[in-house]
Copies of this chain bind each other. A is one copy, B any other.
C-alpha cells in the first residue's frame, strides 16, 4: 500500500477509501479471509424505496436512532447490485490466498443475487449460514423476516484436513442486534467472533466495508491480523476508537 492508513496498530490497518480502489492496491494472496457486510441496497422492491436515506429505510418511524450517520452506496437495483458485487469480489479473489474463504452478509431479498455474484467473481459457493434475530418485527398474516444470511465460499478447493485440531463451525447463529449501536446495521460482536474462526489460525481477515468495525474488532479479539476499508470518515473514526480500546473479552466464548 502506498497511502498511509487511517489507523493502524500491531495487528492491522484501516484504510479510508473506496473498497474497489483500496482492494486494487493490496498484494496478491495476502489475506486468508474476506468477511464483510456490503450495503444491501435492499429495503424496497421499487427504485424509489431504495433512494431514500438509510435512516429512513431501515429505521421504524418511532425510533430514536436518527442520529446515526447515513451509509452511502445503498441505492442500487438488484442487477446492478449483483454486478457491483461481482466487480469487487473478483478483485478480492486475487487478494485472498488460494484455499481462503469469503463470508458475505445479506438479507433474504439479495441472497440469490449475492450467491450469483460470489460465483461470478470467481469464488466457489459453499453454503448459507442463517443468523436468526428473535426480536425481528412481526408481520400480520405472514412469516416474519427474522433472519439475515451469510453466503460463503472459497477461492478454489478447500482440502479437508483430517487433522486432530480440525474445528467444526456451526451452520446457524442466534443473537439479537446490539442494543446500543454506532451503525444502523451493526452486527453482534459475539456472532462475528464465532464467524471469524473460519479463518486459518494466525491468518489475516479483510473487511472492505468495515462500517463500525465489528468484524475487525472480532478478528483482533480472536487473535487474527486484520485489514479494513471504510469510505465514510465518521465511521473510520468509530472504527479507530473501537480498535484502540483494550478488550477484557479477548477470545469471546
Is A226's beta carbon under 8 Å from chain B? no
In the complex, which residues of chain B have a beta carbon less than 8 angstroms from the beta carbon of A198?
141-143
The answer on a CB contact under 8 Å between B147 and A171 is yes
- Residues A116 and B171 in contact in the complex (CB < 8 Å), given A130-B147, A161-B141: no
Q: Would you give the shortest CB distance from A138 to chain B, in whole angstroms?
A: 4
The answer on a CB contact under 8 Å between B171 and A136 is yes
Quickly give the copy total for this chain.
Answer: 2
Number of interface residues of A (CB under 8 A): 53
In the complex, which residues of chain B have a beta carbon less than 8 angstroms from the beta carbon of A127?
108, 142-143, 145
Bound CA span A230–B71, Å: 30
In the complex, which residues of chain B have a beta carbon less than 8 angstroms from the beta carbon of A128?
108, 111, 147, 149
In the complex, which residues of chain B have a beta carbon less than 8 angstroms from the beta carbon of A68?
116, 119-120
- Residues A171 and B152 in contact in the complex (CB < 8 Å), given A65-B116, A130-B132: no
The answer on a CB contact under 8 Å between B140 and A161 is yes
Is A170's beta carbon under 8 Å from chain B? yes
The answer on a CB contact under 8 Å between A172 and B130 is yes
Q: Would you give the shortest CB distance from A81 to chain B, in whole angstroms?
A: 10
The answer on a CB contact under 8 Å between B141 and A158 is yes
The answer on a CB contact under 8 Å between B69 and A120 is yes
In the complex, which residues of chain B have a beta carbon less than 8 angstroms from the beta carbon of A158?
141-142
In the complex, which residues of chain B have a beta carbon less than 8 angstroms from the beta carbon of A125?
71-72
Is A115's beta carbon under 8 Å from chain B? yes
* Partner among B63, B140, B161 whose Cβ is within 8 Å of the Cβ of A78: B63
* Partner among B119, B129, B141 whose Cβ is within 8 Å of the Cβ of A143: B129
Bound CA span A150–B64, Å: 22
The answer on a CB contact under 8 Å between A124 and B72 is yes
Is A27's beta carbon under 8 Å from chain B? no
The answer on a CB contact under 8 Å between B116 and A115 is no
The answer on a CB contact under 8 Å between B138 and A168 is yes
In the complex, which residues of chain B have a beta carbon less than 8 angstroms from the beta carbon of A152?
143
Is A248's beta carbon under 8 Å from chain B? no
A108 nearest CB neighbor, chain B only: B128
Please report which residues of chain A, range 98-115, place their CB below 8 angstroms from some CB of chain B when the two chains form the complex.
108, 111-113, 115
* Partner among B72, B147, B168 whose Cβ is within 8 Å of the Cβ of A172: B147
The answer on a CB contact under 8 Å between A144 and B171 is yes
Q: Which residues of A contact B (CB under 8 A)?
A: 63-65, 68-72, 78-79, 82, 108, 111-113, 115-116, 119-120, 124-130, 132, 136, 138-147, 149-150, 152, 158, 160-162, 166-172, 198
